[in-house]
Structure 1
């Protein structure tokens, strides 16, 4: 069994990202159908041990990188140990994140900064959302993951979801029922998910 993790990059309440994540999971369902070789694991603020908050584990002092810890059991914090175990179980990571003030959320960076070896070599791709689609956020985050954590970027095209004005400045939110504007993104998202699924299924066969 291979696991595709979907990491919700926003830990804010009453936002749009959780609804986008639910929609992507439903699109994955159409593609995976009844596959018994690949499963989806959503990682968000309702998934223990998230949110982790700032790096406070005494085994990771401010001037010592977590790269020095190669065994998840070496972390002093039980939350960090649990996070290490979850990340180590992943075969692929899809990050779905909003763009805040031309960047990615700080809580998302904290989630990555708690670990190092667990991320190293893990294939990933990034979906973004925002008033302008989140392109700046995607470029910045890819640099952190690919160059900083030595993760493996998988090209699936730029999945950038432009949120209508009322979903940013107004009270409208993407909920459990997908918003109509998402229909125009079905093809680009489905194409990306097929690429991801094919890559993960290849791992099953190898």
Structure 2
């Protein structure tokens, strides 16, 4: 079975990421592999781990963690086979909270697959491009298909003048098929990389 984590990348108050991640999980439930029990999708919220700015003395490559928050984050990420990163775009890149969370670990990410669901005024696509580059360095295989939600067309707001209104995710009809295609790719790549994960765990 392929375990997929939907990682909420933003930690700011009023964030829209939690609603987007919930849409990802709900829309994934109709995917054939998930309905058959061959894959699972669970939400992982960076905000719940209380990660400070990177405070480990040793580079993550060595896996010599001294802080309990790092150990908790390590155990969580290590337990998954693939990831869907939910990210907004901040100043043409990813939130600092997401980049920081990636930098805490190394082997826990390695030889796993990742897909992306981004959101923003331009769909968050520039954040995804930065994220692909960062993940390549920790040996994550990113899949081609991604979902980019537009703030003005894929969300509905009860008070459009309130910047803290996270809105309701109301994606266009083309987004769910794209999400399912991304899941197909994630599951296939995760399976292909399984021998490498097993080899890494044996050392």
Shared fold, TM over 0.5: yes
1:170 aligns with 2:169: no
User: Runs (4+) of structure 1 moved beyond 4 Å?
Assistant: 165-169, 198-204
Distance 2:142 2:174 in 1: 25
1:160 aligns with 2:148: yes
Partner residue, 1:5: 5
- CA displacement at 1:155 relative to structure 2: 2.0
Partner residue, 2:17: 17
Q: Would you say the 8 A contact 1:16–1:173 is kept in 2?
A: yes
1:91 aligns with 2:84: no
Unaligned runs of 5+ in 2: 195-203
Distance 1:12 1:169 in 2: 18
Q: Secondary structure at the match of 2:144?
A: coil
1:39 aligns with 2:27: no
Total equivalences in the alignment: 190
1:66 aligns with 2:60: yes
Q: Please, what is the CA RMSD of the aligned residues? A: 2.7
Distance 1:113 1:136 in 2: 20
- CA displacement at 1:194 relative to structure 2: 3.2
Q: TM-score, normalised by structure 2?
A: 0.81
- CA displacement at 1:200 relative to structure 2: 4.7
Q: Secondary structure at the match of 1:20?
A: helix
Q: Would you say the 8 A contact 1:51–1:107 is kept in 2?
A: no
Q: Would you say the 8 A contact 2:7–2:46 is kept in 1?
A: no
Structure 1 200/28 Cα, relative in aligned 2: closer, same or farther at 3 Å? farther
Distance 2:186 2:167 in 1: 24
Q: TM-score, normalised by structure 1?
A: 0.80
Distance 2:148 2:193 in 1: 27
- CA displacement at 1:8 relative to structure 2: 0.7
Structure 1 184/125 Cα, relative in aligned 2: closer, same or farther at 3 Å? closer
> In structure 2, which of residues 100, 106, 113 is the aligned counterpart of residue 110 of structure 1?
100
Distance 1:3 1:33 in 2: 10
